[in-house]
Amino acid sequence: MQLISSLSNKSQMKTYYSYTKLACLLALLTWMSTLAIEAQTSITNRWTGDKIGLQNGTPYCSTAATDSWIVEQVGDGGYVRLKNVATGTYLHTENGGQLGSGAIQPGWWSAMWSLVSYDGYTQIVNRWSGGYLHNQNGKLEIGPLDAPGWWSAQWSMAGKASNNNASNIVADPTDADPRKRLRLTPLSKDQTATIQGTTQTCEFNMRVNGFLYAFTLSPSQKLVHLTTEGSIAKTGVLASNTSDKRGFFLEKLEITIEPTTGAENVYRDVDAPPTDTNTGSRTITTSISGTGGASKDGPSAGVEIGGSDSWSQNINGFKYLNNSSGKKLYHVVELASTSSGPYTKYQDLLDMSFTGSFSGTPLGTLPDQAVNTMPFLAQGVWQTYNGDFEGKVTFKITYKMHLRSVSKTNYFFTVDTSTTTSDMEITDYITVDFGSIK
């Protein structure tokens, strides 16, 4: 503690310490009350699936770890602390830069972390050392990365709260930026299914993140921003992949986000990306840069949404259809071209070109996203009709894959094609408590 040099007698000194104790007590109570509203999360490694936990007080990672963590916001700098729910201790690097866990002092930079979005996952970076949490060498440690794309340094943070309510204060309003922004507890759900009669296993990784906003404008407004960044649909290894048979490949992907319970209190303000019917080699960027305006006709306040509001993905060979209407976000990604040419029906997979007809009319080659992994681009903003609304709204999120297998048989003058289809669907819900932000 630094003493004030102008204190010249014991009375002044006593008064100074009284005020100091009171200020410290108030700061401590405020800090503790803030912690009470933080959400719990598990922290899972992208590369191995290991979760971060404590073993006899020492940080480690293992698929068997069941630890939950509280992400505590630290001031206005975007840093957080990671507190173990069971022990109440914090991850830090105070001891020579080595990763540890224990009690901390409020000002320790060694116990502050940046959560950096990367490829749909989160990199966890220490403020003091600049090191990244990773398990590249088979154990949990902190240090630099030899390559920025290390999966071993990428983590998913799946919330334990059943209601997925807004919890983590990201920013308080200022004159320049009239927002209060709270991070939603992320929704993370995986689902696999084996196509009947085959060994082909498909998979959905559902990742839904978002922010809840309150604006100190006149009139006041509240919005929720939901994004599917990090979600992927995987076809798995095709059951067949020859010139005579392809399957099961991704023909269509549907993404739906719609309010259900409490839907009468919100409207869909804006969603992205827009329709893009090009099918060549390209990258699509999804971006939302507006925020709720004074009217309910759309964003007009001129302050950006922030958060994960812009990212890009490659969807070669597919067209992107934004078919949203009313309160519902509804996006469709459809196969539109193969090496055989434009694709609108399964017979189009046949190579009917001059060259193809002299080589047995083979089935065309499918774009990579149709036989491997399809990333997601959908995001949307819903605004309350009443800026004073303090109730809850539940959003239903549904992903659906339409898969198709095509085979062909050559005859002397003709070629016959046959097809089989299979669908896979995953659904979950996020309940947003608009009363958790003022």
CATH number at residue 104: 2.80.10.50
223 in the same domain as 94? no
Last residue of a domain, one of 116, 139, 155: 155
How many domains is the chain built from?
2
Give dist(CA 111, CA 106) in Å, integer: 9
Q: Assess contact for 204 and 235: CB atoms under 8 A.
A: no
Least confident of 340-354, 397-411, 417-431: 340-354
Indicate if the pLDDT at residue 37 is higher than 90. no
Give the up-direction half-sphere exposure of residue 188: CA atoms within 13 A in the CB hemisphere.
19
Structural domain harbouring 195: 163-436
171 in the same domain as 128? no
Last residue of a domain, one of 155, 172, 193: 155
pLDDT of residue 412: 59
- As given in the structure block, the two tokens for residue 380 are 């949307």
181 in the same domain as 259? yes
- As given in the structure block, the two tokens for residue 388 are 């004073």
Give me the DSSP letters along 163-196. T--EEEEEE---SS--EEEEEEPPEEEEEEEEPT
Q: Assess contact for 371 and 365: CB atoms under 8 A.
A: no
**Comparison of pLDDT for 351 and 369, the residue scoring more:** 369
Indicate if the pLDDT at residue 376 is higher than 70. yes
pLDDT in tens, 44-69: 998 888 999 999 999 999 988 988 89
For residue 200, give the amino acid letter: Q
Indicate if the pLDDT at residue 379 is higher than 70. yes
pLDDT in tens, 253-280: 999 999 999 999 999 999 999 999 987 7
Q: Assess contact for 318 and 369: CB atoms under 8 A.
A: yes
pLDDT of residue 51: 93
Q: Assess contact for 407 and 300: CB atoms under 8 A.
A: no
Number of neighbouring beta carbons within 10 Å of residue 271: 21
Q: Cα-atom radius of gyration of the chain, to the nearest Å?
A: 26
pLDDT band at residue 303 under the 50/70/90 scheme: very low
Q: Which residue in 71, 386, 80 sits closest to 223, CA to CA?
A: 386
pLDDT in tens, 201-210: 999 999 998 8
Specify the residue for token string 């972390």. Answer: 113
First to last CA, the chain: 36
Q: What CATH number does residue 383 fall under?
A: 2.70.240.10
pTM as predicted: 0.60
pLDDT of residue 360: 58
Per-residue DSSP letter, 4: P
The SS3 assignment for 233 reads strand
Q: Assess contact for 142 and 97: CB atoms under 8 A.
A: yes
347 in the same domain as 218? yes
**Comparison of pLDDT for 404 and 15, the residue scoring more:** 404
Helical residues (DSSP H) of 290-422, grouped into ranges: 354-357, 368-371
Q: Assess contact for 299 and 268: CB atoms under 8 A.
A: no
Give the helix/strand (H/E) hosting 25.
helix 10-35
Q: Assess contact for 312 and 325: CB atoms under 8 A.
A: no
Position 398 in a domain: yes
Specify the residue for token string 């007009």. Answer: 300
237 in the same domain as 142? no
Q: Which residue in 372, 370, 377, 424 sits closest to 191, CA to CA?
A: 424
Position 286 in a domain: yes
Q: Assess contact for 350 and 363: CB atoms under 8 A.
A: yes
Q: Assess contact for 309 and 117: CB atoms under 8 A.
A: no
Last residue of a domain, one of 155, 187, 202: 155
**Comparison of pLDDT for 356 and 376, the residue scoring more:** 376
Q: Assess contact for 379 and 229: CB atoms under 8 A.
A: yes
Evaluate the omega torsion of the peptide bond into residue 248 and state whether it is cis, within 30 degrees of 0. Answer: yes
- As given in the structure block, the two tokens for residue 56 are 């006899």
